[in-house]
């Protein structure tokens, strides 16, 4: 007697994949405070430590970002690692996609592959220039910018590709965008407003350290799209100064500089500052996005200090 074939848990069904839906998208429509986190794929093929990092926040994160060659540095593809996350129990990865490394054909090919693999969420961004990373002589592509890619995604969701040809099976995604949160950067705000015209489901911001500036930014953005504020726990004086001096969109107030410089334990002080920021952000935005430099070793502890977790 022939044995019945068994279907592996989280296996991709044959034919058009309609089995995977974004529960994150439903949470965005609810009143709950959202927590997302960020995980980097490995620089290599051993993904065990990256999956362990994911598991540190899997129990309480509403969705988990997969970075796309962040800082223009080579890692496993976000598409491949997002699928590995699903196979290891994460039902709602957010696949980051930059415009830096692929032309419009490759971008669309990866989007269709992501939909077929059951990856329900996207985060669209331009991507750092290759000169910032570990392959500084690589040629940047930027065939489409982030706004054009959002338009392309809308076309795919309507059943046609960039050139207008029909698709056999239509993808569906929960789509997010990124933004700095500096109210004085008028061009950034104008760019965000253009992005929001393409049925965007959420916004994740650069790390927030100045609450008053963030409030001013919110006043300039006329949208009901959920805004999820970035949180980077400071670990050292050097890290703080580097972010303040070199990362666009990050402004660290004088009082935080003074607290970190005066501390005997900068990691603990950075955790305390992150928890305080989260408490102040909770009444004014829809959620927070945890972006530790390294593993999520302290993320749960920070969220407990901020009374987000019990």
Which uninterrupted H or E stretch holds 278?
helix 266-281
Helix (H, G, I), strand (E, B) or coil at 167: coil
pLDDT above 50 for 291: yes
> Band of the pLDDT at 306, cuts 50, 70, 90?
very high
Is residue 300 within 8 Å of residue 215, measured between CB atoms?
no
Nearest to 125 by CA among 224, 9, 204, 212: 204
Span 170-211, pLDDT tens digits: 999 999 999 999 999 999 999 999 999 998 999 999 999 999
User: What angle do helix axes 104-116 and 146-157 make, rounded to 10 degrees?
Assistant: 50
| DSSP designation for 117 | T
What average pLDDT is seen over the chain? Answer: 93
The domain locations on the chain are 35-305
- Dihedral through CA 93, CA 96, CA 102, CA 103, nearest 10? 100
Name the fold adopted by 35-305. TIM Barrel (3.20.20)
Q: How far apart are CA 199 and CA 89, in angstroms?
A: 28
Helix (H, G, I), strand (E, B) or coil at 63: strand
pLDDT above 70 for 265: yes
Residue with the bigger pLDDT between 132 and 279: it is 279
For the segment 38-65, the average pLDDT, to the nearest whole number, is 97
Q: How far apart are CA 113 and CA 118, in angstroms?
A: 9
Q: How far apart are CA 63 and CA 57, in angstroms?
A: 9
> Band of the pLDDT at 248, cuts 50, 70, 90?
confident
Q: How far apart are CA 251 and CA 233, in angstroms?
A: 14
The number of beta carbons lying within 10 Å of the beta carbon of residue 219 is 9
Among the residue ranges 14-18, 54-58, 217-221, 246-250, the one predicted with the least confidence is 14-18
pLDDT above 80 for 3: no
Residue 11: what pLDDT?
57
Residue 10: what pLDDT?
55
- What does pTM read for this prediction? 0.92
């Amino acid at each position: 007697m022939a044995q019945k074939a068994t279907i592996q848990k989280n296996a991709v069904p044959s034919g058009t994949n309609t089995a995977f839906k974004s529960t994150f998208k439903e949470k965005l429509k609810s009143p709950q405070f959202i927590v997302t986190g960020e995980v980097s794929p490995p620089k290599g093929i051993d993904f065990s430590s990256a999956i362990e990092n994911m598991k540190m926040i899997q129990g309480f994160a509403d969705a988990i970002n997969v970075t796309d060659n962040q800082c223009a540095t080579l890692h496993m593809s976000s598409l491949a690692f997002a699928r590995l996350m699903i196979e290891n129990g994460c039902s709602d990865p957010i696949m980051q996609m930059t415009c830096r490394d692929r032309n419009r054909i490759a971008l669309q090919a990866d989007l269709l592959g992501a939909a077929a693999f059951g990856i329900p969420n996207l985060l669209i961004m331009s991507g750092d220039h290759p000169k910032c990373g570990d392959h500084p002589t690589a040629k940047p592509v930027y065939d489409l910018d982030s706004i054009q890619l959002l338009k392309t995604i809308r076309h795919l969701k309507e059943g046609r590709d960039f050139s207008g040809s029909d698709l056999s099976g239509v993808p569906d995604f929960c789509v997010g965008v990124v933004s700095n949160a500096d109210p004085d950067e008028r061009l950034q705000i104008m760019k965000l407003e253009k992005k929001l015209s393409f049925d965007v489901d959420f916004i994740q911001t650069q790390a927030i350290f100045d609450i008053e500036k963030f409030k001013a930014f919110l006043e300039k953005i006329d949208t009901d799209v959920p805004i999820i504020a970035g949180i980077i726990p400071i670990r050292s004086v050097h890290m703080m100064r580097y972010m303040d001096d070199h990362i666009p969109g990050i402004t660290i107030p004088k009082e935080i500089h003074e607290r970190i410089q005066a501390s005997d334990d900068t990691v603990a002080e950075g955790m305390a500052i992150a928890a305080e920021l989260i408490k102040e952000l909770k009444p004014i935005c829809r959620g927070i996005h945890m972006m530790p430099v390294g593993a999520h070793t302290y993320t749960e502890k920070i969220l407990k200090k901020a009374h987000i977790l019990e």
